[in-house]
Amino acid sequence: EAQVTQNPRYLITVTGKKLTVTCSQNMNHEYMSWYRQDPGLGLRQIYYSMNVEVTDKGDVPEGYKVSRKEKRNFPLILESPSPNQTSLYFCASSDRGSNIDTQYFGPGTRLTVL
Amino acid sequence: AQSVSQHNHHVILSEAASLELGCNYSYGGTVNLFWYVQYPGQHLQLLLKYFSGDPLVKGIKGFEAEFIKSKFSFNLRKPSVQWSDTAEYFCAVNGAPGGYQKVTFGTGTKLQVIP
């Protein structure tokens, strides 16, 4: 089944404790992206990747890191999480890196930073 | 930078009523436009998209949207809503000026359909 998976689905952590949210897609898509969803703000793009080893900042990259060592995986790293990073996070993928078409979204990761 | 406005934050309709959700974007030029839907407890999924050609596009579940370039708008419509249309709807744009890899979403509209 074609899908985007994220782990963990729920995470409660404390300020400053490094964490990684994994994202994997099995559709051989070139493009992958991370978004955060906050009430009243919609989805905001954090980082995106057009292909392996090619990443770029979205609109809200501060406090986040990403890497794209393999085509299927695009982990989101919070080196020192803070309470303002409490949010619902979505990973997405699309089959063209140059002109993004339909994005396929993962189920979301609800992160709480205390 | 591109911005997307969805002026209706929360819409409540009775079944069989007609629906129109507004979406306006700020920067002209060549853009791609999307409507995504998030049903309760489910992933975001594509409703419809516009890249070029006929400005009236049809999507899944009887939804359609019209691209009006002069108004920077891409409003979503459905002639008769059902209870199962209860969801949150997001408009999204990519293209100028940020490039086709950067996607800007609106803040979303929560639709509640009353049986």
For residue range A22-75, what is the model confidence (pLDDT) as tens digits?
A: 999 999 999 999 999 998 899 999 999 999 999 999 999 999 999 999 999 999
Using a CB-CB cut-off of 8 Å, the residues of chain B touching A108 are 43
Contact of A78 with A12, CB cutoff 8 Å: no
pLDDT score recorded for residue A84: 97
What does the block give as tokens for B79?
Answer: 């002639």
The residue of chain A nearest to residue B107, with distances taken between CA atoms, is: A42
Using a CB-CB cut-off of 8 Å, the residues of chain B touching A35 are 105
State the Cα torsion B87-B78-B2-A51 to the nearest 10°: 70
Using a CB-CB cut-off of 8 Å, the residues of chain B touching A23 are none
- Decide if B41 touches A, using CB distance below 8 A: no
pLDDT per position as a tens digit, B40-71: 988 899 999 999 899 999 999 999 999 999 99
Residue showing tokens 């997405």: A92
> Is A97's pLDDT higher than 70?
no
DSSP 3-state of A84: helix
Residue among B49, B90, B103 minimizing CB distance to A45: B103
Can you tell me the mean pLDDT for B88-93?
96
pLDDT score recorded for residue A1: 85
